[in-house]
Amino acid sequence: MKKSLADRIEEYIKVLIARSEAQQIEIQRAELAETFSCVPSQVTYVVATRFTEKSGYLSESRRGGKGFIRISCCELDKEAARESKQELFIFIDRLLEVEIISQKEGEMLKHVISKSSQEVAQEQKSQFFDAFKFALADFLKK
């Protein structure tokens, strides 16, 4: 099966990122368009639709003569956020064990945390979970 132009551009960029020591690349939009014999807007489309935060990437671009596209892999942020969320849920479970909060309150806290964190940008989720944990601990000191 023949791959679409967008698929080939995406694959090429992913290979460049994988080969990069910092898991980040900076490329010229015009040069990449020339490599694939397409218009620069096609490159912009691929970056905008396939290199999103939800798919584990951060992208930044600047147009013009010295313009560039910078794409970074942010998988580490997802792992840090996952660990922070687990730590927060363990903290809540501990509060349940020592009967500081009820089962219903624990379930409510976990639900609120899970739903609220969906609206937080990936690179900020770890901070969100940590801040929630500190706020909860501060409240319990009262």
46 lies in the same domain as 11: yes
96 lies in the same domain as 42: no
Residue 129 sits in which domain range?
Answer: 76-141
> Which residue carries 């899970």 as its tokens?
114
85 lies in the same domain as 134: yes
Over 65-122, what HEC string results?
CCCEEEEEECHHHHHHHHHHHHHHHHHHHHHHHCCCCCHHHHHHHHHHHHHHHCCCCH
> Which residue carries 């801040």 as its tokens?
131
CATH number at residue 58: 3.30.56.130
Name the domain boundary from 73, 97, 112: 73
Q: Which residues lie closer than 8 Å to 77 by C-beta, 6 or more apart?
A: 122, 123, 125, 126
35 lies in the same domain as 86: no
In tens, the pLDDT along 7-66 reads 999 999 999 988 988 888 999 988 999 999 999 889 989 998 988 877 778 888 877 766
In tens, the pLDDT along 81-137 reads 777 888 889 889 988 888 888 999 999 999 999 898 888 877 788 888 888 888 888
49 lies in the same domain as 84: no
